[in-house]
Amino acid sequence: MKKAWSGRFKEASHRLTEEFNASIGFDSRLYRFDIMGSVAHARVLVKAGILTAKEAKKIEAGLKAVEKEIDEGKLVFSVEMEDIHMAVEKRLTEIIGPLGGKLHTGRSRNDQVALDIRLYLRDQIYETVWLLQHLKKAIVEAAEKNIDAVMPGYTHLQRAQPVLFSHYMLAYYEMFKRDTERLFDSLDRMDEMPLGSGALAGSPYDLDRRLAAELLGFSRVTENSLDAVSDRDFVIEFLSASSILMMHISRLSEELVLWSSQEFGFIEFSDAFSTGSSIMPQKKNPDVAELGRGKAGRVYGNLVAMLTVMKALPLAYNKDMQEDKEPLFDTIDTVKAVLKVFEPMIKTMRVRTDRMVKATSEGFLNATDVADYLVRKGMPFREAHHVAGGAVAYCIERGKILEGLGLDEWKGFSPLFEGDIKKAVDIKTSLESRKVYGGTALSSVKKRLKAVRKELDKGCC
């Protein structure tokens, strides 16, 4: 097969070179966006006087025919085609004749691929955000369904203070909300149309780049032709946002894996989102959550790979940059797959509120409330902290709980204790005392849920 660039070459490409050089095996997924960009470019060429309206119409019809063939799986790709750009151009020329060769006037594969990736990634970001919205809704529904369920909050994976399960779940809503915002932020910086930058120096033809931007839905054009074709920071930014998103997925996964264990027993996954053991009949494994946790490392690897590819490249385009697509594609596929399966997994899990309440009653989660009680009586917090610690040690030695101490015992630690200490150390009182904005009190959580519902109903981040 004759190459579009073979004019100065006397030898044909070695088969190994063709196989090593080709990207058609993975960049073929860009075909729809490549054709979209080509249609816009043809219209720009008409305005520049390079194509007639009739020629552009014929080219556009040919491109639509190529798109239909690819949609239907009728166009077979081969390594000789090198990449999706050459594959589309070759088939277009076969359909409409030599006129197809005019389409590449004023552009390079360098600005063409920079455009295609932006168009593709823009589309995928919107889809990812849509999936993320559904996961956030599932989390909010779980919080609403179990709004007053009490559970231990943890630091260092040690029981710390009582919190509401709904408050706990809304913490992940906030994380995923920021992930949504990061994805939208990356869209804003990616919203630049590079076509017309040529190989690196711009085009010698009078191309209306703003017309191309308008036709393709970009708000602005790139300002520097070298930068437009040689950077992939918008890909890296998406990979970074995806890595942070997957970090949050991994943290949620870890919690769910722990909570589903017999040691915690806070939740139970639906059979539909669990697997068994090939040897131990009793097992019910949280494989979906574990895979979500594991796939975070895969996305991190894609980010590091892309940073490494770009870290020392001189301007402008280098073939190294062909390595941008597989990490990007893999990240998109991975993130979308995780989001798709996590939504129904969260929706169908059973929350074991009885186990949560039992865990909350153990471990002196109300010890801080003892110190706060003394502070309200006028004792400095550091002294109050010491007194409360002494009360805990006393209970541990005697196998008691703070709620079970009599007033005489309390007064043995400080004369400031009165009969109202019993209510002060009640778990419900502990929860309701935390009415500060953003706290775990039921009234605060209800307010936040109401605001969150409005956010979700508006479809915003």
Report pLDDT for 244: 98
**Tokens standing for residue 134:** 């559904």
| Pairwise CA distance, residues 236 & 306, whole Å | 7
Q: Reply yes or no on whether 156 is catalytic.
A: yes
Report pLDDT for 13: 73
292: left (phi over 0), alpha (psi -120 to 50) or beta: alpha
| Pairwise CA distance, residues 249 & 295, whole Å | 9
Return the DSSP state at 403.
Answer: G
Contact status, residue 142 vs residue 136, Cβ threshold 8 Å: no
Report pLDDT for 23: 85
Report pLDDT for 460: 57
- Among candidates 136, 238, 154, which has minimal Cα distance to 188? 238
Return the DSSP state at 355.
Answer: H
Segments in the chain below pLDDT 50? none
**Tokens standing for residue 235:** 């890909």
Rounded to two decimals, the pTM is: 0.93
Contact status, residue 70 vs residue 24, Cβ threshold 8 Å: no
| Pairwise CA distance, residues 322 & 302, whole Å | 14
State the burial class of residue 253 (Cβ atoms within 10 Å of its Cβ: 0-12, 13-18, 19+).
buried
Report pLDDT for 21: 73
Domains plus CATH for the chain? Answer: 12-105 (1.10.275.10), 110-155+165-356 (1.20.200.10), 360-458 (1.10.40.30)
Q: Which string of DSSP letters, residue by residue, matches 162-179?
A: EEEHHHHHHHHHHHHHHH
Report pLDDT for 275: 94
| Pairwise CA distance, residues 397 & 395, whole Å | 5
Report pLDDT for 5: 54
Amino acid identity at 44: V
Which entry of 219, 270, 277, 443 is annotated as an active-site residue?
277
Which entry of 13, 156, 248, 253 is annotated as an active-site residue?
156
Other C-beta atoms lying within 10 Å of the C-beta of residue 101:
13
Report pLDDT for 7: 65
Helix (H, G, I), strand (E, B) or coil at 419: coil
